[in-house]
Structure 1
Amino acid sequence: MDPRTSAQDVMRCDLCETAVVQMHCDTCLVNLCTACVGKHMISDESKDHKVVKFQSRKSTPLYPGCTTHNKERCKMFCKQCDIPVCISCIESNRHLGHELSKILRVLDEKKDIFIKERNELNDTVYPTYQDIASDVQNRMSQLEKEYGDLSTAITKHGEDWHREIDKLVKKLKAEVDEMKNTQLQTLQKHLDEINKTMSDIKDEINSTETAIDTNDMSKLFSVTSKVHIYKNLPHKIVPSLPKFISGKIQGEELSKMFGTLSSSSLTSDKHGYSMKTTQKPPEAGSSPPVKQLLDEPETVTIIDTGYEYLFHVACLSDEEIWTSGGDSMMKLFSINQGSLLKSITTKSGNMPFDIAVTKSGDLVYTDYNDRTVNIVKNEKIEEVIRLQNWRPRGVCNTSSGDLLVIMYSDDYKQTKVVCYSGSTEKQTIQLDDKGKYKGKPLYSSGHYNRYITENRNLDICVSDNRAKAVVVVNQAGKLRFRYTGHTPDPKNKPFYPVGITTDSQSHILTADSYNDCVHIIYQDGHFLRYIDCGLSEPQGLCIDTNDNLFVAQFKNKKVKEIKYLQ
């Protein structure tokens, strides 16, 4: 029921509480019906009742009562005493010679001052504090990034040291092996010579025994003794092992050699902010610069995420992206360097079913098995939404800072989109409201992938891969159109939409996993073109502020950055 037309909103008389209000007593601030006016007038004859039509309420000035003369109203104001005064006060000569003004004039002057102060608070002071809060938030985000960069630099320097130490260890071990092999070869040669001599001695023993046993004098005299030769023993070869003389590890010296941190500081500058000047806001509905589609989209960057399976990507900034895959880890990568900056594990240890980034730069993820939507602030995970009988799937942040969550019922028979402000449910979108499908579900049922985003024109766009459609409703939840693919697709397979995002031109982009491409759809639902760029099973999508497209590829675990607008 519309509250503006609801009977519950009709104003009732404060006396009889049944008849509709028609009059108002400006003196007593009481709402009255015409039948109760007389009753009210005689209820307190000491007051000067000012009864007017309800539409003209507050038109009669309510003069303040005098603190000195009971039941008298003050219509003048003493500027010296800075108090309202009544006629009796003036006649008593207590304010003789004082400058008096009509209290209504003083009231108007005070209202003028309050109006100026209110306008100043609205136009300059409050917006200034908004800017200061935004500046502090930005500084905090920048601080997080810079400290992350600092930690990354230290880690990289440590890795460089490890590499150099590994090289040194490898070199020393190679030298050890070379020394060992040289000495073993020398000893082996010496051993071979000894074995040869031992064989010769055996032969000499056999010859001697033959001579002893023979009676043949000629053979006996032909044997020559070599005992004197074998009694000259060979030199003894004793190897000398090298010693490893380790350098002493001095904690302080090592720290200086590795590197040290300078001290950090926080300073307070009371002149650091200036009051915001009043400026005309930009014209409502101002459009971004028109950008044309490139004839050939081009791959700018490829980032290897290291997941077994990669599902989602979300832009934190034009320099950093969040990713998630088939485990509980969410990873933040530098776009330019392709390096891992930090990683966060979900609170429950479950795989996140979708991720998004809020306007303030916080990471949001859905936990399907835990029935929760969570936000990561300063690496601490806070539960924002906990569902009963429903499970969250896709999530996105809106231009107003709300969260849109698409969810299934526990029996998989229902699917709906819910808008949340914090943890408060603001809106539910579930059923069609027009045509032959009026009262029918907007989204298919079952445990299938569904992702969600908000367009620049505030349309809510859902990729429903069981229905093989992109379902777009306006801000009020009214169906605008369904996009069911464009034939023929690049591989002529069924349209299978998964990740979805939008750009500054209000184009809708959805990943088509079966056809290894991304569809670009105009805001009215017309197909514009495909992006393929060698994509392999694209899943999650996001776009940065420069309209660069980031595509999470399922099996090859890589995020591709693609430029497709001029």
Structure 2
Amino acid sequence: MHPRRSAQEVLLCNLCETAALHSRCEVCNINLCKACVGDHLSDSSKQHNVMPFLQRKSTPNYPKCPKHANELCKHHCEKCDIPVCITCVSSGKHRGHKLSDFLEKLSAKTQNLQKDLKELETRIYPRYQKIASDVQTEKAKIETNYGKLTTATEQEGEILHREITTIVNRQKSDIQEMKNKHLYTLNKNTEEIIQKITELKQIISDLKSILKSNDVSLTSTYKSRNSEFRTLPPKVQVTLPSFTPQKINTDQLREMFGSLSPLSINTEHGDTMKSAEAVPSPPVKPLLDEPRLTATIDTEYSSLCSVSCLSEDQIWTCGDNETMKLLNLQSKLMTSIKTKSGKKLSDIAVTRDRDLVYTDYSNNTVNLIRNKKIRTVITLQGWKPHNVCCTASNDILVTMVSNDGKQSKVGRYSGSTEKQSIQFDDQGRPLYSAGRYIDKYISENKNLDICVADWAARAVVVVNQLGKLRFRYTGHPSNTEQSFTPVGITTDSQSHILTADCDNHRIHILDHDGQFLRYIHCDLCDPWGLSVDIRDNLFVAEYYTVKVKKIQYM
């Protein structure tokens, strides 16, 4: 801002920038002081319209024409969907095109913007806030709910501990009782023996006294008790008790203790809110009888493998080297990024967050590029990645082959965690052909089916989100030139499946159940990678011409 222009000062003349403004030229869209009005009117190259500033009209802010520097775009070409100036119109480039007043077009778009803003502020944003609030409430409940589980577990443990303590104490009491009985028996036996020993001592003493006295009367009256003592006292035989512990069966113990029900986390697809106008659903887009080529983009690879839409007018591409290129519809290189390994990549895909994912066959990795920084998110063990796509739930689907080339499968990943592996049908037969260097392009349909173009099997293999085989499409009977050779594959808003039939130089359009609808030709040459933008424009990467063709087919 000019240092002398502020909210507290008068507006100044745009020419001298010193005097206060007095008038305004509606044609040139500038403010003038009294002194500069004459100088401005002396320019006869235009027919000026100068009036007092307070009587000025609300001058529309027409954009400048990018091709004709001195012209303003006062019209809008409906077919090309761009603003144009009168020179653009008279040049003949827009002959036959419907032209509308730029201000009318701007007004209509402004109304749409206002509707969008109102819907976002009053309906959509509050719903998101409520959902976020509900999640926070749910998180707040976690401590309470899991705390109750922990308490219940501890209480059950205390009950079991008490039962075990009771059992142990009872057994200790039984042991003590056995011990007491044992000791009583031994003590009684000991008392009997001691009594006998006392008697024996007395008899021995008496006999010695008799022999020493030589008293005939004592000798004649003596009666022997030896026979009585020859029978020895009984010996107590006691078999000591023993403890035989039972082998603990951990499974039975766990079952007896109780079990937790499994944690079940289901991510349901969010409800789709009706628009503010309460339109039930967008109308079905019919297929064009004659698809139209609307743009051709040069990529400057030696061979072109993949294309993925970043927006309606920018596409990511990859070919026969280690470089990924972001190009606009005029073939201008917006940016380029080399793989982390420096080796040729296999495939690319754009995520819902507009990041780029690529697969690197050389080091068995899947990598994410955000703000030009590369981060490895998946490292495969025993498998090599081929092609990749990103799902509506922001998962990553990867086609891969085993290191020995004898097995193929599809893996679903959330971050670096494998959530699903799709390899066999219900009879245990492989869903996909094997082969070490055979690409299998992949796409998720709007009905969440997983579609794989299996070139070696000459088939499009479609499974549902659980990995159950739905159908195989092996080409249309009209394929008489060459056998069906599906390479690239993509899907659109109508759940159509589009696959590139490279040897026959055309695209097959199928419905979501695999029924053939029609071909797209458009002078295609070796179509390979495919991608569809949000407006259902098809982008086709041609392998040998290394061009990307934008085609309108709906």
Q: TM-score, normalised by structure 1?
A: 0.50
Contact 1:288 1:505 in 2 (8 A): no
The aligned residue for residue 155 of structure 2 is: 30
The aligned residue for residue 198 of structure 2 is: none
Secondary structure of the structure 2 residue equivalent to 1:348: coil
Q: One-letter code of the match for 1:536? A: C
Residue 419 (str. 1) matches residue 544 (str. 2): no
CA separation of 1:300 and 1:478: change in aligned 2, threshold 3 A:
same
Deviation at 1:492, TM superposition (A): 2.0
CA separation of 1:36 and 1:510: change in aligned 2, threshold 3 A:
same
Contact 1:454 1:460 in 2 (8 A): yes
Deviation at 1:487, TM superposition (A): 1.7
Any residues of structure 2 matched to 1:236-255 within 5 Å, and which? none
Residue 538 (str. 1) matches residue 524 (str. 2): no
Select which of 501, 507, 521 maps to 2:510. 521
Select which of 284, 291, 309 maps to 2:285. 291
Residue 465 (str. 1) matches residue 465 (str. 2): no
State the Cα deviation string for residues 324-348 of structure 1 (Å, max 9, x = none): 111111100112x331111111111
Residue 369 (str. 1) matches residue 359 (str. 2): no
The aligned residue for residue 445 of structure 1 is: 434
Deviation at 1:29, TM superposition (A): 7.4
Secondary structure of the structure 2 residue equivalent to 1:505: coil
The aligned residue for residue 327 of structure 1 is: 321
Select which of 285, 303, 315 maps to 2:309. 315
Any residues of structure 2 matched to 1:1-12 within 5 Å, and which? none
In the comparison of the two structures, how many residue pairs are matched?
301
Any residues of structure 2 matched to 1:37-76 within 5 Å, and which? none
Contact 1:468 1:497 in 2 (8 A): yes
Secondary structure of the structure 2 residue equivalent to 1:294: coil
The aligned residue for residue 547 of structure 2 is: 558
CA separation of 1:283 and 1:477: change in aligned 2, threshold 3 A:
farther
CA separation of 1:27 and 1:298: change in aligned 2, threshold 3 A:
closer
CA separation of 1:300 and 1:390: change in aligned 2, threshold 3 A:
same
Residue 339 (str. 1) matches residue 464 (str. 2): no
Q: Distance in 2 between matches of 1:554 and 1:341?
A: 21
The aligned residue for residue 25 of structure 2 is: none
State the Cα deviation string for residues 384-414 of structure 1 (Å, max 9, x = none): 1111221000100010011000100011100
Deviation at 1:26, TM superposition (A): 9.7
The aligned residue for residue 466 of structure 2 is: 476
Deviation at 1:30, TM superposition (A): 2.9
CA separation of 1:471 and 1:26: change in aligned 2, threshold 3 A:
closer
Q: Distance in 2 between matches of 1:280 and 1:478?
A: 25
Q: Distance in 2 between matches of 1:27 and 1:451?
A: 51
Gapped regions of structure 1 (runs ≥ 5): 1-23, 43-278
Gapped regions of structure 2 (runs ≥ 5): 1-148, 167-269
Deviation at 1:488, TM superposition (A): 1.4
State the Cα deviation string for residues 285-312 of structure 1 (Å, max 9, x = none): x754310000100000000111111111
User: What is the percent sequence identity of the aligned residues?
Assistant: 55
CA separation of 1:534 and 1:30: change in aligned 2, threshold 3 A:
same
Deviation at 1:37, TM superposition (A): 13
Secondary structure of the structure 1 residue equivalent to 2:392: coil
Any residues of structure 2 matched to 1:111-260 within 5 Å, and which? none
State the Cα deviation string for residues 501-560 of structure 1 (Å, max 9, x = none): 000000000000000000001100100000010000000000000000000001111100
Q: Which has the larger radius of gyration?
A: 2
Q: One-letter code of the match for 1:399? A: A
Secondary structure of the structure 2 residue equivalent to 1:295: coil
Select which of 401, 412, 434 maps to 1:408. 401
Q: Which runs of 4+ in 1 moved over 6 A?
A: 24-29, 35-40
Q: Distance in 2 between matches of 1:343 and 1:26?
A: 57
Q: Distance in 1 between matches of 2:309 and 2:315?
A: 4
State the Cα deviation string for residues 211-231 of structure 1 (Å, max 9, x = none): xxxxxxxxxxxxxxxxxxxxx
Q: TM-score, normalised by structure 2?
A: 0.51
Q: Distance in 2 between matches of 1:328 and 1:305?
A: 14
Q: One-letter code of the match for 2:388? A: V
Q: Distance in 1 between matches of 2:364 and 2:476?
A: 35
CA separation of 1:25 and 1:473: change in aligned 2, threshold 3 A:
closer
Secondary structure of the structure 2 residue equivalent to 1:448: coil
CA separation of 1:318 and 1:38: change in aligned 2, threshold 3 A:
same
